[in-house]
Amino acid sequence: MKIEITDASNVIPLAERRTEAQFPSIRRIESYWEGLRDGRMMPARAEIDPRGIADVLEFAFVLEKVAPGIARIRLAGMHLNDLMGMEVRGMPITAMFLPEARRGLQHVLESVLESPAAAALRLESDSGFTRPRLDAQMILLPIKDEQGRPTRILGALQAKGTIGRGPRRFRVLSQTVTPVSGCEERDDRPGDPRPVSQIQPSATSERKPHVLRLVHDADGL
């Protein structure tokens, strides 16, 4: 497995263009997060408005830290349910990975919330007679809770190929963990959501309409 740790000054235009072409929803959600944080370390949970990523919501998810390296799924788009062949709400995100990949993913989760950092992972699924191989990408982006602590993650997972019989679990082919930097909080209250009209989508975002169904727990995001 290839592991890369970069600093915020590194720019890899070719890799970004490849991601945009093959996994446009990943780039779309990353652009939304960047727009929300607007130069800060990270946005707050309350700032996230699903309408801002309605066109790619089926690939999005929100995680909550429950212990070091362990995060459960609080909200998930239907693509994750389709991959697992079941409702994923309440599961640890590691349940979507093969056993040999879980410890490495736990280290990535710790880095995302403790550094903080943004992580991008290139994935490959298991395969079999009724389970064709899937290529996938995932991003993990830190967000703050109501107390200003980095205990939540906005993420996205997009797989390419025929899902076949679930559950489908993944191994990590490579990962890039990039520490994020930003200014101190401004005078605006961290819990105030920005109007959706002020959040500029990526130029590569998909415009096709989707019929979306989300899985929420009692607390919402």
How far is 102 from 130, CA to CA, in rounded Å? 24
**Helix, coil or strand: residue 99:** helix
Q: Which residues pair with 122 in a beta bridge?
A: 137, 174
pLDDT on residue 161: 92
pLDDT on residue 100: 96
Q: Would you put residue 100 in left (φ > 0), alpha (ψ -120 to 50) or beta?
A: alpha
Cβ-proximal residues to 203 (8 Å cutoff; 6+ apart), any chain: none
Comparing CA positions, the residue from 35, 72, 40, 19 lying closest to residue 190 is: 40
Backbone angles phi, psi at 63, to 5 degrees: -110, 150
How far is 18 from 3, CA to CA, in rounded Å? 18
pLDDT on residue 185: 56
Comparing CA positions, the residue from 69, 78, 118 lying closest to residue 97 is: 69
Comparing CA positions, the residue from 51, 217, 65 lying closest to residue 145 is: 65
How far is 3 from 178, CA to CA, in rounded Å? 11
What is the pairing mode between strands 70-76 and 60-67? antiparallel
Q: Are 131 and 120 in contact (CB under 8 A)?
A: no
For the chain, 221 residues long, the average pLDDT of each consecutive 10-residue run is: 44 46 92 94 94 96 96 97 96 97 97 96 90 95 94 97 92 96 57 44 36 39 49
